[in-house]
Amino acid sequence: MRETWLDLERLAQTESVFALANGHLGLRANLDEGEPFGQPGTYLAGFYETRPLPYAEPGYGDPEDGQTVVNVTNGKIIRLAVEDEPFDVRYGELRRHERVLDLRAGVLRRTAEWVSPTGRLVRVSSTRLVSFTQRSIAAICYEVEPLEEEVLVVLQSELVTNETLPITEPDPRAAAALASPLASDLFTGEELGAMLIHTTMGSGLTVAAAMDHRVDGPPDTQTAIRSEGDLARLTITATAAPGRPLRVTKFVGYSWSGERTVPALRDQVDAALAGAVQTGWEGLLQQQRAFLDTFWKDADIEIDGDAELQQAVRFALFHTVQAGARGEQRLIPAKGLTGPGYDGHTFWDTEAFVLPLLLLTYSRRQAVADALRWRHSTLELARERARSLGLRGAAFPWRTIHGEECSGYWPAGGAAFHINAAIADAVERYLLLTQDETFAREAGVELLVETARLWRSLGNHDAVGRFRIDGVTGPDEYSAVADNNVYTNLMAARNLRAAADAIERHPELARPLGVDEEEATSWRTAAEAIFIPYDASLGVHPQAEGFTEHQEWDFDSTPPENYPLLRHYPYFDLYRKQVVKQADLVMALFYVGEYFTPEQKARDFAFYERLTVRDSSLSAPIQAAVAAEVGHIELAYDYFAEAALLDLDDLNHNTRDGVHIASLAAACTAAITGFGGLRDLGGKLSFVPRLPQALTRLALNLRARETIRLRIEVEQTQATYTLLMGEQLEIYHHGEPITVTAGRPVQCPIPPAPALEPPTQPRGRAPQHRRAHEATRH
């Protein structure tokens, strides 16, 4: 991914797009010299500060404190002075500036040629990585070379804590808590290395950041180190000349803890740094490459016919693995570790969108187990939350960093109970695929049981025996607190069944988890009796009871600049009309597809197309998958393109706050489930592959089961299935059962798509029509 000129207007966006992370540590692509910046950012998964959550009218059970990701000590900074003039792209003359995010090497490269205000021409090159193999480590190789004459250069390689951030927090109390969140515990500096340790005032978390260097410069090179509370600096001076550059390799290490003492963290980060220095820059590069070689071999999605989307999909896969690879029992936030958006919180995005993709493609299953184990580690808080709501089992938070509910707006947050079913569903998928018994015993079954208990207590059997779940919010945030949301009810029923099945498989866990036969039976009874409303007069499913009777939103009088609607209309009005922010009933068609007939899917999809405005980035990829399934393959292509290009084209104008990890992951899933047509039917894989006209080939490698890998290559008129691992696999191709055996690829013809009336979207909200040959921008 190449940027050939530095556009200061888009600096914040590119800082997100070019961000490097490994799931534990994330660095925004801030310029080496620190300024100008859009938003400085260095993040550690799970490291947060508490902040007040102000309410005009507090209610019982409202969360009292919020949590916000902290921009920790910045170890990226290497400032340069050329004969006294600071290298700053806003001054002097920038002759050339290029940044490349190398998805294969896992590095960000930058080259700049700059003439200082006094006329000295220098070339600055830097390569930065956040190590996938040594998760606390980032490293930078920085080189400056004068291009015309000998020049005195000074480098200042720094650790900076409590950087001044652009003010985005409207509430002054919260802004104050976050203005300078880190208090100094310890600073050291010796030879070429330094360390700063700080603790947050509210959450009491301690972070240690340390740096060490290798310097390779002209004979007169000198160094000096200093360190104080919020600043450590290694100064390197040298007379460089053409052919005689000054090169510095900077190793940066981070560790943090809420439990460990300052000396323990000091030693931990020292050890991590020593390991990285021992591996060396070249060694880190090699490890990074080897890690990514394995990743791409397993996960790559090949697309022929649309080079821009090919690149976008690889970019999306890269950010997904950056968000999830080394989280190691911490959360995966909605923006990964690429920006402060959504306060660094995790939502259902992780379990419903990110983990399913990682499961399909990524061979390190541990990453998924770890993310779910993080949820499990917050179970006690979720139980407390359920109790405070008068419910049983566990109520996981709609948004959080540490595990406590942080949503200050209950109709969209606290009432969005469907997150619990998404967690249970991810557990089920993981178990089905891996048969990981240790995980099942230690975390999986308990997660299923506690979420099932929640549903059982949240719903009730009505006078005619139907199991109803009233007064909850589904995925569509332009409706709230509705009765019997179809997606929620179907997912809850699945959750209830999964818990009962899990206890049957693991009778030894029944007693420790306190489940008796009566309780397990009550889950099955509720699941069987789940109420799914249907509007017989329209022949469609209302997304929640009564929805289709509401007045329709007046789309024709809604000007384009009034989207997203939530910024221009009161929730009061959105909630009582038929207008859909994001796939909701269409989520049900996708996730719980077995419940619907093909005819129902087609009718429901068309019905909701008319009402869906896609004010959430989580909508388009799901619409893509279902559009492809019901036969609108060109529309699927348009939605797929929108999802895949969301951050590269900054379609929602908020990529500056971080990339949309769930939407990027779901774009990849849309390629797999839409054009590859993959569905998992009761343990059997089914494919309904079909390509839009512009694409000539799509190739996917899928982890079908733990020991089975399947490659599928789709062309316009045929699909080829090849077993990459395993002996034999039974699958369906367009409804026909076929058997794929090792060493014998099977070719199957693709039937022509049915001719269907194209659905319509609200005025001005149709996705942009994709013309692949025009797209050569990135």
240 makes contact with ligand BGC (CB under 6 A):
no
657 makes contact with ligand BGC (CB under 6 A):
no
342 makes contact with ligand BGC (CB under 6 A):
yes
Number of residues that bind ligand BGC (CB under 6 A): 11
616 makes contact with ligand BGC (CB under 6 A):
yes
Alpha-carbon distance of 314 to 642, in angstroms, equals 15
370 makes contact with ligand BGC (CB under 6 A):
no
Q: Find the binder of ligand BGC among 114, 315, 347, 547 (CB under 6 A).
A: 347
Residues in 659-718 at the binding interface with ligand BGC, rule: CB under 6 A: 662
| Least Å from the CB of residue 70 to ligand BGC | 20
| Least Å from the CB of residue 271 to ligand BGC | 36
Residues in 270-329 at the binding interface with ligand BGC, rule: CB under 6 A: none
Q: Find the binder of ligand BGC among 281, 348, 374, 531 (CB under 6 A).
A: 348
Give the interface segment with ligand BGC, choosing from 78-86, 258-266, 344-352, 462-470 (CB under 6 A): 344-352
Pick the closer one to ligand BGC by CB: 347 or 374. Answer: 347
User: Quick check: 320 and 361 in contact, CB under 8 A?
Assistant: no
| Least Å from the CB of residue 575 to ligand BGC | 14
Token pair for 689: 């592959």
Pick the closer one to ligand BGC by CB: 496 or 662. Answer: 662
Pick the closer one to ligand BGC by CB: 161 or 619. Answer: 619
Token pair for 470: 């009233």
Give the interface segment with ligand BGC, choosing from 172-180, 345-353, 429-437, 518-526 (CB under 6 A): 345-353
Q: Find the binder of ligand BGC among 174, 215, 232, 618 (CB under 6 A).
A: 618
| Least Å from the CB of residue 345 to ligand BGC | 8
| Beta partners for residue 511, in sequence order | none
608 makes contact with ligand BGC (CB under 6 A):
no
Active site includes 477? yes
User: Quick check: 400 and 67 in contact, CB under 8 A?
Assistant: yes
| Least Å from the CB of residue 461 to ligand BGC | 30
| Beta partners for residue 249, in sequence order | 141, 214
Q: Find the binder of ligand BGC among 15, 349, 351, 629 (CB under 6 A).
A: 349
Annotate 339-354 with three-state secondary structure: CCHHHHCECCHHHHHH
Going by the DSSP 8-state scheme, the letter that residue 244 receives in this structure is B
Alpha-carbon distance of 466 to 532, in angstroms, equals 9
| Least Å from the CB of residue 566 to ligand BGC | 8
Dihedral angle, C-alpha 486, 490, 493, 497, nearest 10 °? 180
721 makes contact with ligand BGC (CB under 6 A):
no
334 makes contact with ligand BGC (CB under 6 A):
yes
Give the interface segment with ligand BGC, choosing from 126-134, 180-188, 270-278, 340-348 (CB under 6 A): 340-348
596 makes contact with ligand BGC (CB under 6 A):
no
| Least Å from the CB of residue 615 to ligand BGC | 7
| Beta partners for residue 199, in sequence order | 183, 206
Ranges of H-type helices in 534-688: 571-575, 585-591, 598-609, 620-630, 633-645, 661-670
Token pair for 57: 């009218």
Nearest in space to 680 (alpha carbons), one of 713, 702, 701, 698 = 702
Alpha-carbon distance of 84 to 569, in angstroms, equals 54
Chain centre to alpha carbon of residue 61: 29
Alpha-carbon distance of 760 to 608, in angstroms, equals 9
Pick the closer one to ligand BGC by CB: 445 or 662. Answer: 662
Contacts of 675 (CB under 8 A, 6+ apart): 628, 633, 636, 640, 689, 690, 691, 692, 695, 698, 714
Alpha-carbon distance of 163 to 461, in angstroms, equals 55
Count Cα atoms within 13 angstroms, Cβ side, for 628: 30
Residues in 753-772 at the binding interface with ligand BGC, rule: CB under 6 A: none
50 makes contact with ligand BGC (CB under 6 A):
no
Pick the closer one to ligand BGC by CB: 3 or 477. Answer: 477
Residue type, 177: A
Pick the closer one to ligand BGC by CB: 6 or 334. Answer: 334
In the complex, residue closest to ligand BGC by CB = 347
Residue type, 393: G
**Pairing of β 697-705 and β 231-240:** unpaired
Pick the closer one to ligand BGC by CB: 647 or 713. Answer: 647
Pick the closer one to ligand BGC by CB: 428 or 476. Answer: 476
Burial degree of 87 (CB within 10 A; 0-12, 13-18, 19+): buried
| Least Å from the CB of residue 574 to ligand BGC | 12
Question: What is the phi/psi pair of residue 424, to 5°?
Answer: -60, -40
**Pairing of β 193-200 and β 206-216:** antiparallel
Pick the closer one to ligand BGC by CB: 477 or 629. Answer: 477
Per-residue string for binding with ligand BGC, 470-509, x by CB under 6 A?
Answer: -----x-x--------------------------------
Pick the closer one to ligand BGC by CB: 332 or 698. Answer: 332
Alpha-carbon distance of 201 to 223, in angstroms, equals 35
Catalytic residue among 308, 428, 477, 629, which? 477
Pick the closer one to ligand BGC by CB: 133 or 350. Answer: 350
622 makes contact with ligand BGC (CB under 6 A):
no
431 makes contact with ligand BGC (CB under 6 A):
no
| Least Å from the CB of residue 475 to ligand BGC | 6
Nearest in space to 604 (alpha carbons), one of 574, 620, 583 = 583
**DSSP states along 506-549:** -HHHHTTTT--HHHHHHHHHHHHTB----BTTTTB--SSTTGGG
Going by the DSSP 8-state scheme, the letter that residue 427 receives in this structure is H
Alpha-carbon distance of 448 to 498, in angstroms, equals 7
| Least Å from the CB of residue 229 to ligand BGC | 36
Residues in 564-593 at the binding interface with ligand BGC, rule: CB under 6 A: 582
Annotated catalytic residues are 477
Chain positions contacting ligand BGC, by CB under 6 A: 334, 342, 347-349, 475, 477, 582, 616, 618, 662
